[in-house]
Structure 1
Amino acid sequence: MTDNTKIENKIDNKVEQTTTNIRNYSKVILKKDSDFAIVESYKSTRTNIEYALNTEEGCKKIIFTSAMPAEGKSTSCINLAITFALTGERVLLIDGDLRKPKIHRNLNLENKTGFSNYLAGFASLDEIIQHDKEHGFDVISSGQIPPNPSELLSSAKMKSAMEELSQKYDYIFVDAPPVNIVSDAVSMSKFVTGVVVIVKENFTTHDALKKCISSLEFANARILGFMLNGVVASEGYYSKYYKYKYKYKYGYKYGYGSKGYGYGGYKYAYKYAEAAKNAEEDKK
Structure 2
Amino acid sequence: MAKRKKQFKTNVRSLITKFNPKSPISEQYRTIRTNIEFASVDTAMRSLLITSSGPSEGKSSTTANLAVVFAQQGKKVLLIDADLRKPTVHYTFKLDNRAGLSTVLVGEKPLEEATKETDVPNLDILTCGPIPPNPSELLGSNAMKQLIKKAQETYDMVIFDTPPVLAVTDAQILANTCDGALIVVRSEKTEYDAIQKAKELLEPAHAKLLGIVLNDVAQKKSNTYYYYGS
Q: C-alpha displacement at 1:180, in angstroms?
A: 0.2
Task: Check conservation: 2:12, 2:19, Cα contact below 8 A.
Answer: no
Task: Check conservation: 2:181, 2:211, Cα contact below 8 A.
Answer: yes
Task: Check conservation: 2:14, 2:92, Cα contact below 8 A.
Answer: no
Task: Check conservation: 2:68, 2:120, Cα contact below 8 A.
Answer: no
Q: Look at both structures and tell me which one has the larger radius of gyration over its CA atoms.
A: 1
1:201 match: 187
* TM-score normalised by structure 2 residue count: 0.87
- The question of 1:120 aligning with 2:92 is answered no
**Partner amino acid, structure 1, of 2:79:** L
Q: Structure 2 unaligned segments of length 5 or more: list them.
A: 1-8, 223-230
1:54 match: 41
Task: Check conservation: 1:65, 1:185, Cα contact below 8 A.
Answer: yes
1:77 match: 63
Q: C-alpha displacement at 1:40, in angstroms?
A: 0.8
1:93 match: 79
CA distance in 1, matches of 2:62, 2:103: 25
**Partner amino acid, structure 2, of 1:36:** S
CA RMSD of aligned residues (A): 1.9
- The question of 1:153 aligning with 2:139 is answered yes
Q: Structure 1 unaligned segments of length 5 or more: list them.
A: 1-22, 237-284
Number of matched pairs: 213
Task: Check conservation: 2:176, 2:208, Cα contact below 8 A.
Answer: no
CA distance in 2, matches of 1:197, 1:86: 23
CA distance in 2, matches of 1:89, 1:136: 7
* Structure 1 ranges of 4+ moved more than 6 A: 23-26
CA distance in 2, matches of 1:140, 1:199: 24
Task: Check conservation: 1:26, 1:75, Cα contact below 8 A.
Answer: no
Superposed CA offset, 1:246-267 (max 9, x none) = xxxxxxxxxxxxxxxxxxxxxx
Superposed CA offset, 1:259-283 (max 9, x none) = xxxxxxxxxxxxxxxxxxxxxxxxx
CA distance in 1, matches of 2:120, 2:151: 22
Residues 198 and 220 (structure 1), Cα distance of their counterparts in 2 relative to 1, 3 Å cut = same
Helix, strand or coil at the partner of 2:61: helix
CA distance in 2, matches of 1:183, 1:115: 17
Task: Check conservation: 1:91, 1:137, Cα contact below 8 A.
Answer: yes
1:274 match: none
**Partner amino acid, structure 2, of 1:138:** D
CA distance in 2, matches of 1:124, 1:40: 36
**Partner amino acid, structure 2, of 1:45:** I
2:226 match: none
**Partner amino acid, structure 1, of 2:160:** V
CA distance in 2, matches of 1:156, 1:207: 34
Helix, strand or coil at the partner of 1:199: strand
1:38 counterpart (15, 25, 34): 25
Task: Check conservation: 2:75, 2:122, Cα contact below 8 A.
Answer: no
